[in-house]
Amino acid sequence: MHEFTITSSIVEAVLDLARKQGSKKIQEVHLTIGKLRVLSTDQVKFCYEVLAKGTVLEGSKLIVEEAAGNLRCSHCGYNAVFDPDNDPSFHFGIPPLICPQCGNALTIEGGDELVITRVRMLLPSVKRERDAGR
């Protein structure tokens, strides 16, 4: 289950950010996961909840946006959106990405990303010192 390993890395990155910012509570974590990344968003969410327990992430909301695959042919300029959910062969590996117009290989230009796009957290209040002479 590679979702657990990947989610562990996400949790560690957010915990590191929280430490650097001095946050004691994370409210939301937003992810963009490309459909070509072949991750189960349900499994990522489950792993996130398990890994968040006992940390500043506990009780936070994980919001996942899925990005479709964008394909382009550098030879003829063909562009397409590839949705692996509609292609049963994708579940057995990535099918050959051949341009339907000219037969050359297609380039993946999106849909394989995994990005933490936003973290909403509570930051400590800043205490202002007053001048002693005033």
What CATH number is attached to the domain comprising 94? 3.30.2320.80
Residue 31 makes CB contacts below 8 A (sequence gap 6+) with 10, 44, 62, 63, 64, 65, 114, 115, 116, 117
Q: What is the pLDDT of residue 119?
A: 97
- Tally of domains within the chain: 1
For the chain, give the mean pLDDT.
87
- The domain containing residue 8 runs over which residues? 2-122
Dist CA 115 CA 132 (whole Å): 47
What does the pLDDT average to over 114-132? 76
CA pseudo-torsion sign 31, 35, 36, 39: positive
In a domain, 110, yes or no: yes
**pLDDT reading at 126 higher than 70:** no
What does the pLDDT average to over 64-82? 92
In a domain, 75, yes or no: yes
In a domain, 133, yes or no: no
In a domain, 132, yes or no: no
Question: Tens of pLDDT along 5-36?
Answer: 999 999 999 999 999 999 999 999 999 999 88
**pLDDT reading at 88 higher than 80:** no
- Write down the pTM of the prediction: 0.78
**pLDDT reading at 107 higher than 70:** yes
Higher pLDDT, 125 or 92: 125
